[in-house]
Amino acid sequence: MSDGASDKTSLTFSSKVRLPRLSVDQYVQGVRENNRTILAQAITLVESNSPFHMEMAQEVIKKLLAHTGNAIRIGITGVPGVGKSTFIEAFGTMLCEKGHRVAVLAVDPSSTVTRGSILGDKTRMELLSRNPHAFIRPSATGGTLGGVNRKTRETMLICEAAGYDVILIETVGVGQSETTVRSMVDFFLLLMLTGAGDELQGIKKGVIEIADALLINKADGENRTRALIAKGEYNRALHYLQPATVGWETKAYMCSALTGEGIEEIWNVVNVFREKTTQTGGFEARRSAQSLDWMYSMANDYLRTMFFSHPQIALLLPQMEGAVTSGQLSPTSAVQQLVTIFESAISKKE
């Protein structure tokens, strides 16, 4: 990047995202050396919504791509109060002790609006955040879930290029965030509490079906017996569902971040999963499919924005919606009218 380009940045965007004037190669080198300051700045670059930063971020990612993909990507979800932070703290610390390097990311669409619950990651995971082998990044904010989706995926790639070999992506489960996280990870873990029937009320439809393991947390003290019963109940229920991953049986496990029970076991489960699906080719097939799906999903986002943000469409849409829901207009006619307007508008553009 030329100085001129950097000047442009500092003039136009410095008030929004503060970044040093590093070149693409400086970012790439810093990330590859796991320079934590530059790593954090590279992620800030990826998270920036400025067109200049976005373009530079793509240059950086392009050069890092060859060094990505070597981590195991694990998604973690569960209702608030299930103990995600304490689990990740215990799980991540155990992994660091085993010699792994662990990056913790978060997908939290709520944080855009509420400055939400995962923003304070570093204080929630005090022990892990001080561990030199762990890297915790609060969730990206700003924009739609689509934007958060892109930022998290690219942050994951950057962490992989920096040598982190276990990526944990946490979500609070707002909106479509579980599906979003599932679409970017190899293994999806659903944390649960005891008392199957009731607790399930808080778990959204379809979330159990996309999980590779159910993990009953807080299985300690008096709760342990109840956790055992819940585990059996969940396993019976899982018998009726098709597994999230072909060739893998989703089962229920239990753990306690307090006593440490089950923390290593779930890591073993992840490893067996990785081995099995690597042998069948399912592991790589899923990743290829995820990349393609993501490409198509971004293209569709672009198309929808182009169409529905078009001034003439945006102006007409509310009354079209009204006419369709009240049964005065067939959806087919509505779309025909919108398309006619759109096509005449873009053909007049030049």
Specify the residue, 204 or 274, whose C-beta has the smaller distance to a second copy: 204
Q: How far is the CB of 339 from a second copy (least distance, A)?
A: 6
Q: How far is the CB of 197 from a second copy (least distance, A)?
A: 6
Q: What per-residue string of b and e applies to 12-22 under the rule 16 or more CB within 10 Å gives b?
A: ebeeebebeeb
Q: How far is the CB of 299 from a second copy (least distance, A)?
A: 5
Q: How far is the CB of 224 from a second copy (least distance, A)?
A: 22
Specify the residue, 99 or 318, whose C-beta has the smaller distance to a second copy: 318
Specify the residue, 39 or 96, whose C-beta has the smaller distance to a second copy: 39
Q: How far is the CB of 59 from a second copy (least distance, A)?
A: 9
CA–CA gap between residue 186 and residue 290 (Å, rounded): 10
Got the DSSP string for 246-262? TT---EEEE--TTT-TT
Tokens 């002790």 correspond to 97
Q: Which residues bind a second copy (CB under 8 A)?
A: 58, 61-62, 65-66, 68-69, 150, 153-154, 157, 196-197, 200, 204-206, 208-209, 236-237, 239-242, 288, 291-292, 294-295, 298-300, 302-304, 306-308, 320-321, 324-325, 327-336, 338-339, 346-350
Q: How far is the CB of 324 from a second copy (least distance, A)?
A: 5
CA–CA gap between residue 329 and residue 349 (Å, rounded): 29
Specify the residue, 209 or 264, whose C-beta has the smaller distance to a second copy: 209
Three-state DSSP state, 139: coil
Specify the residue, 133 or 231, whose C-beta has the smaller distance to a second copy: 231
Specify the residue, 104 or 207, whose C-beta has the smaller distance to a second copy: 207
Give 104's strand partners: 136, 168
Specify the residue, 221 or 302, whose C-beta has the smaller distance to a second copy: 302
Who's near 338: CB < 8 A, 6+ residues apart? 307, 313, 316, 317, 320
Specify the residue, 3 or 350, whose C-beta has the smaller distance to a second copy: 350
Q: How far is the CB of 320 from a second copy (least distance, A)?
A: 7
Q: Which residues of the chain form beta strands (DSSP E)?
A: 72-77, 102-107, 134-136, 166-171, 187-192, 213-216, 251-254
Give 190's strand partners: 77, 214
Q: How far is the CB of 205 from a second copy (least distance, A)?
A: 4
CA–CA gap between residue 283 and residue 277 (Å, rounded): 5
CA–CA gap between residue 20 and residue 171 (Å, rounded): 30
Cα torsion at 132, 133, 138, 144 (round to 10°)?
Answer: 150
Q: In which element (H, E) is residue 113 found?
A: helix 110-114
